[in-house]
Structure 1
Amino acid sequence: MKEKLKAIAKNRMFLVGFLLFFTVVVVAIFAPYIAPHTYDEQNLAMKLAAPSAEYPFGTDQYGRCIFSRVIFGSRIALNVGLTAVIIETLIGVTLGILAGYYGKAVDKVILFVTDATWSIPPIVLAMAIVLMLGPSSQNVAISIAVVSWAQFTKIVRAKVQSLKNLSYIEAARIYGESDTNIILRYILPNLTSTIVILATLALPSAILSTTSMGFLGLGAQQPQPDWGMILSEGIKYIGKAPWISIVPGLAIVWTVLGFNLAGEGVKELLDPRLKV
């Protein structure tokens, strides 16, 4: 335990990343107590107002507090990002285990579907799915998961192929244990660190995809405070009220940077062989 704590203390990348994303998580949880206004509160007399004591980061074209909208928007970014990563992890890991463990026809079919999915530009496929399902944050999460699971499948499949021929797994087969039991008792526990690393590194990408879809108007709809949508609307007023776009842009950078640094740190902590 002490050695693990020492390793964490020495890993500055992880500590900085953890601090950044922990801040975002705290802000999302306590948004109603941090934000001075609700995200949809309008004051038309103060539209496009510059930053002030009442509106720390100014207001938008409807007189809504940008600071409050960005604070509440962290909930959408984290919710959609986490939902997408959970779904893509479940799909990718399940298919990867089946392909790696059973091989033969099962492996060929899953690899074909995986390669086909990987060959389509993710943002194009995600947009097509959202257009079919309808613009909303939930549908964005589904679309991101559907286009992003392939990397999990490829890596997990390779890992399972190296695990299934180990002596203790062969012994389990000889003793008559079922495939399900072998996968759950012996193979899945050995995949834990790999899955955690993949999921941690996939989260910033999912959040970027979320804001990109919001920027295109396919994510959460008005008056929901989606960061991408706020940034997109602010471009119209970039000369008169640049804070509308700058603030959500900085929030996106802060969040993605934090998760990227934390993900790289987790990778080093769980797999020391990857250290340079």
Structure 2
Amino acid sequence: MMRITRAAIPALSRGITLIAVMVLIGLLPWISGRDPALSILRARMGDQNPTPETLAAIRQQLGLALGPLDHLWNWLAGVFRGDFGTSWISGAPVLPGLVQALGVSLGLMAAALAVALFVAVALCWPTMRRGLRGRDTRSSGVVAACLTALPEFMLSAVLLVVFAVWLRWFPPYGWHGAANVVLPALALGLPAGGLLGRLLENAIAATFHERWIATWAVAGFGKGQIARAVLRRSLPALMPQIGMIIVAMTGGAIAVEQVFSIPGLGRAVLGAASAQDLPALQAGILLLLVNALFIGIVANLIRIALLGRALEMGAMPVPQVLQAAPSRRLWIVPGVVSFLMLVLVVAGLPRDPFTSEYIRLQPPGLLLPLGADGLGRDVLARVAHGAVSTIGMAIVVTAASFVIGIGMGLMPRLAIGPIEVTKATPPTIAALIVTAAMGPSAVGAVVAVSAVAWAPLAAHTAALVTETRAQPHVQIAPVLGVGPLQLLPRSILPAITGPVLRHAMLRLPGNALALAALGFLGLGPKPPSPDWGLILADGLPYVERAPFAVLAPVAALALMSVLGVSLAALSRR
């Protein structure tokens, strides 16, 4: 009976987590602490005086006069009937427009997935070819790592400047034909393809070092048969990560749609958040989460189909890890990048990032090494101060996610639901919920990224806890009279703290880029804060006249990306 109860705990954890998410979304009008009636009145009739009678009439019309629980029940009942409510701004049903926008987003994601698969195949083909010829399959993975580290919003800005503004090969904005698909699909697909190719390349390289490869070759199997067998052996263990990569594309699509003015679901949800149109925001977030859940289910079904009889017989393949030879030269890259970041901060920190005393869009020169932005502010000063604020917020996020990850990972069965749901939630979606509750702010950005950044650390902690508890000296501890409360500080925490802390520090550059992405989307610090994302967003309207206003923050973000790549490469040694 106890075994059945223990087996039911993960399913119960998943169910409770999904219900909690639904309740959280349903209660957004009450969690925000702001009066939605006042926002609606200002959006519809900006000049009308907000009298108590007018506000009360709006609340009655929208059903806000009910209590939170009644409002939640009505919203959930409407969702199960297919009625997601009416827009507080336009008064029209929100679902038809969001479904149409979802179709646009899915089309963009399909094109981006095609790009990602092409990139992954191109990255894996040399490893596959070396393996079929009996050569060493180990690879540095530099190209894949560089592609992986490119944030979608930064890559979008670069592609926009180079191929739409300078070369004029593709249209910069809109969604009118095949030409409009190319740049957004590249911006979204290249990072995903780099990560997918990196994972698959490592798995294929490890598979070629297994003994059955030599047996098949001696038995006379052809290269095509061996290649298919290697893929079938390598893919099942990667399917959960592949599903997560595709889910992460939904978060990246929001930024890409914003840059290229694509009428997709992400852009529609951003518009609803800025207008405080909570019914549209609730429906959009719910559609994004359902899409992420569906992708995860499909990835798991593909994994089951690939395993086939091995899953039924319990002969599960154990993935192997192939390590490349260590090299001291790998420390050169993070050292150089850190030095360049330090030079940037030292050069710009004494300068004023807020004064508008310069000529608007003044080009770079001796007085202004990086030029001036659209308001006549020193770009160097803003980028340098943005480095301090962004990295500072990233340190806070990393520390918070480390503490939460350790705490949740110590309860692997109870925490499996929150871990899985959180890992499937991109930071942008979490930021939309936080923004609806708190409004856009630096604190809200920190809360949003921390709300999802702990999940990988918790999963790592849970795996380490399981391994530690399986060790003989820990298993025999209860026999020697060591209780659970004594075992935790003596044996478990010392074994897991170091590896998880190193894992958390490696995620620092990624957390900084996530915070910059929220600032770029208007979900982070408010203007005139010198946030990297805000600086890039401020420069995009002037990209044709002053590309330097975009390239300066892009260069800073690129340095942070390279730092993340180099640290990740070191972690594999």
Regarding TM over 0.5, the answer is yes
- Which one has a bigger Cα radius of gyration? 2
CA distance in 1, matches of 2:349, 2:368: 10
Q: Secondary structure at the match of 2:411?
A: helix
Which residue does 2:499 correspond to in 1?
A: 194
8 Å contact from structure 1 (residues 197, 267) kept in 2: no
Question: 2-side partners of 1:27 and 1:185: how far apart?
Answer: 44
Give 1:243-254 correspondences, 5 Å limit: 243-254=548-559
Q: Which residue matches 1:17?
A: 334
Structure-1 separation of matches of 2:368 and 2:342? 22
Spell out, residue by residue over 1:96-124, the C-alpha distance to the aligned partner (whole angstroms, 9 max, x if none). Answer: 1222xxxxxxx1x3112222222334321
Which moved further from structure 2: 73-82 or 170-179? Answer: 170-179
TM-score, normalised relative to structure 1? 0.82
Alpha-carbon separation, structure 2, partners of 1:27 and 1:173 = 56
Q: Name the counterpart of 1:88.
A: 401
Structure 1 residues 18-27 or 168-177, which shifts more? 18-27
Match of 1:184 in 2: 489
Give the 3-state SS of the residue equivalent to 1:181 in structure 2. helix
Aligned in 2, Cα 1:157/1:251: closer, same or farther, shift over 3 Å? Answer: same
Instruction: Determine if contact 2:510/2:564 at 8 Å carries over to the other structure.
Output: no
Distance 1:186 1:64 in 2: 55
Q: Does residue 40 in structure 1 map to residue 354 in structure 2?
A: yes
Whether 1:110 and 2:430 are equivalent positions in the alignment is: no
* Mapped contact 2:422–2:452 kept (Cα < 8 A): yes
Cα distance change on mapping 1:22 and 1:131 into 2, 3 Å:
farther
CA RMSD of aligned residues (A): 2.1
Shift in alpha-carbon separation, 1:35–1:165, aligned structure 2, 3 A: closer
For structure 2, the residue ranges without an aligned partner over 5 or more in a row are 1-325
Q: Pick which of 33-42 and 202-211 moved more.
A: 33-42
In the alignment, the residues of structure 1 paired with residue 507 and residue 484 of structure 2 have an alpha-carbon distance, to the nearest angstrom, of 29
Segments of structure 1 that go 5 or more residues without pairing to the other structure are 1-8, 100-106, 269-276
Q: Which runs of 4+ in 1 moved over 6 A?
A: none
In structure 2, distance between residues paired with 1:260 and 1:86:
20
Tell me, yes or no, if structure 1 residue 235 matches structure 2 residue 540: yes
TM-score, with length taken from structure 2: 0.41
Could you say which structure has the greater relative contact order, defined with CA pairs below 8 angstroms and 6 or more residues apart? Answer: 1
Q: What letter matches 1:177 in structure 2?
A: V
Matched, 1:66 2:383: no
Structure 2 distance, partners of 1:120, 1:251, is 26
Match of 2:486, as an amino acid? Answer: N
Any residues of structure 2 matched to 1:84-163 within 5 Å, and which? 84-99=397-412, 107=413, 109-163=414-468
CA contact (8 A) 1:18 1:262 kept: no
Residues 200, 259 of structure 1: 8 Å contact kept: no
**SS at 2:406 equivalent:** helix
Q: Which digits, 9 at most, give the CA deviation of each residue in 1:203-225, with x for residues without a partner?
A: 22211111110101121122210
Contact 2:404 2:454 survives alignment (8 Å): yes
CA distance in 2: counterparts of 1:98 and 1:244, whole angstroms? 48
Contact 1:18 1:259 in 2 (8 A): no
Query: 1:83, 1:267 → 2: CA distance?
Result: 25
Contact 1:127 1:213 in 2 (8 A): no
Q: Note the alpha carbon deviations across 1:106-159, whole angstroms, 9 max, x for none.
A: x1x311222222233432122221331221222211110101222112221111
How many residues align? The count is 248
Change (3 A) 1:60 1:154: same
CA distance in 2, matches of 1:256, 1:179: 42
Q: What is the match of residue 79 of structure 1?
A: 392
